[in-house]
């Protein structure tokens, strides 16, 4: 009986010893992890708001900054902007953990994110970006961990929740006021037509409605270039007239919706500039089009039949 007690006691001591060693090992590992993070005294967030984009920027001392970015017509994303990226290319672990000054809460694992060799080494897509925001609102800390490029040490980049809630509601208000589209999405617009027709569908009008909304919001747009086209069916003179009708129906839509006639340049080209060979029905459908191009800082002279190919 005595030997059994001694054995159990020795086993218990061994468990305690192993636990202590494990704790020391974990502590040593954290010591060798290079951590970039704002603390309680210097954690800041900055909101930039407009109808074109909304961003929440968080400076990370000695690293750069973390940014939640939502552009009109696009989805939310988060990215790290590094002064000099210390992480090795590959995959970084993304978790949401308790801040250093409030230990004890659980850890949420958001999986792996790509690390690239660039000034924006990490970009997080919408779903995980939203998870990061929810974690920040709960006082938690999103943390990226990846091996350093210069050694076997780990690099950790933490996003502080301190002061984040003060800006969150204003950020949501900004997002609610964003335009439905951005410049890249409306800079080039194409309206397709049925055979021998110059009539727009309801879907075409909805597409052009977004262009009108953007035009009224962005005063840097100086010119709207409308080019009418046809397929190779029909005689040349007829096709020129049909392409003119197709360009004019789009021009009329803009003017009826409050766009100044002075901004609009209308051109028509018949079948001269196909985007596909007129060899089958599918290709001909692509050529029965009117294109709309928005320009900044320049005006395009109006001409009825251009000598150079328009952008279609």
Question: Given a cut of 50, is residue 11 above it in pLDDT?
Answer: no
pTM of the predicted model, to two decimals?
0.82
Residue 75: alpha-carbon gap to chain centroid: 5
| pLDDT computed for residue 119 by the predictor | 92
Helix (H, G, I), strand (E, B) or coil at 173: helix
Structure tokens at 191: 């309206």
Give Dmax (Cα) for the chain: 113
* Domains of the chain, start order: 34-176 (2.60.40.2540), 183-296 (3.30.1330.60)
Question: What sign does the dihedral 141-145-150-152 (CA atoms) show?
Answer: positive
| pLDDT computed for residue 192 by the predictor | 97
| pLDDT computed for residue 102 by the predictor | 75
Question: Given a cut of 50, is residue 1 above it in pLDDT?
Answer: no
Interval 62-91: pLDDT, tens: 999 999 999 999 999 999 999 999 999 999
Question: Given a cut of 50, is residue 308 above it in pLDDT?
Answer: no
| pLDDT computed for residue 303 by the predictor | 46
User: How does residue 312 score in pLDDT terms, banded at 50, 70 and 90?
Assistant: low
Residue for token pair 């949501």: 172
Interval 206-234: pLDDT, tens: 999 999 999 999 999 999 999 999 999 99
Tell me which residue of 156, 133, 160, 140 sits closest to 98, measured CA to CA.
140
Whole-angstrom distance between the N-terminal and C-terminal Cα of the chain? 94
Question: Given a cut of 90, is residue 19 above it in pLDDT?
Answer: no
User: How does residue 299 score in pLDDT terms, banded at 50, 70 and 90?
Assistant: low
Q: What percent of the chain has pLDDT over 70?
A: 84
| pLDDT computed for residue 309 by the predictor | 56
Question: Given a cut of 90, is residue 16 above it in pLDDT?
Answer: no
Which bin fits 310, alpha (ψ -120 to 50), beta or left (φ > 0)?
beta
State the chain's mean pLDDT as an integer: 88
Rounded Cα–Cα distance for residues 73 and 55 (Å): 14
User: Bridge-partner residues for 294, per DSSP?
Assistant: 224
Helix (H, G, I), strand (E, B) or coil at 104: coil
Interval 119-162: pLDDT, tens: 999 999 999 999 999 999 999 999 999 999 999 899 999 999 99
| pLDDT computed for residue 22 by the predictor | 34
| pLDDT computed for residue 290 by the predictor | 98
């Amino acid at each position: 009986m005595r030997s059994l007690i001694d054995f159990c006691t020795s086993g218990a001591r061994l468990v305690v010893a192993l636990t202590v060693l494990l704790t020391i090992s974990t502590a040593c590992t954290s010591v060798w992890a290079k951590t970039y993070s704002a603390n309680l005294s210097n954690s800041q967030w900055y909101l930039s708001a407009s109808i074109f984009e909304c961003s929440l920027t968080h400076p990370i001392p000695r690293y750069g900054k973390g940014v939640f970015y939502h552009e009109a017509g696009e989805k939310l994303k988060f990215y790290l902007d590094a002064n000099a990226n210390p992480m090795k290319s590959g995959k970084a672990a993304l978790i949401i953990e308790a801040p250093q000054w409030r230990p004890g809460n659980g850890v949420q694992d958001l999986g792996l994110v790509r690390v690239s060799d660039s000034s924006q080494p990490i970009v997080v897509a919408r779903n995980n970006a939203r998870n990061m925001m929810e974690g920040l609102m709960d006082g938690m800390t999103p943390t990226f961990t990846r091996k350093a490029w210069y050694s076997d040490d780990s690099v950790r980049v933490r996003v502080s929740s301190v002061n984040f809630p003060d800006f969150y509601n204003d950020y949501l208000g900004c997002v609610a006021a964003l335009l439905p589209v951005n410049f890249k999405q409306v800079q080039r617009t194409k309206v397709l037509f049925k055979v021998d027709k110059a009539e727009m569908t309801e879907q075409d009008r909805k597409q052009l409605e977004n262009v009108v909304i953007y035009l009224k919001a962005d005063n840097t747009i100086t010119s709207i270039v409308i080019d009418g086209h046809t397929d190779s069916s029909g005689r040349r003179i007829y096709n020129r007239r049909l392409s003119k009708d197709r360009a004019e129906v789009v021009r009329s839509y803009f003017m009826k919706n409050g766009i100044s006639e002075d901004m609009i340049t209308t051109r028509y080209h018949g079948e001269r500039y196909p985007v596909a060979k007129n060899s089958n029905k599918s290709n001909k459908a692509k050529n029965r089009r009117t294109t709309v191009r928005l320009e900044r800082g320049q005006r395009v002279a109006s001409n009825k039949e251009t000598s150079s190919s328009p952008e279609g």
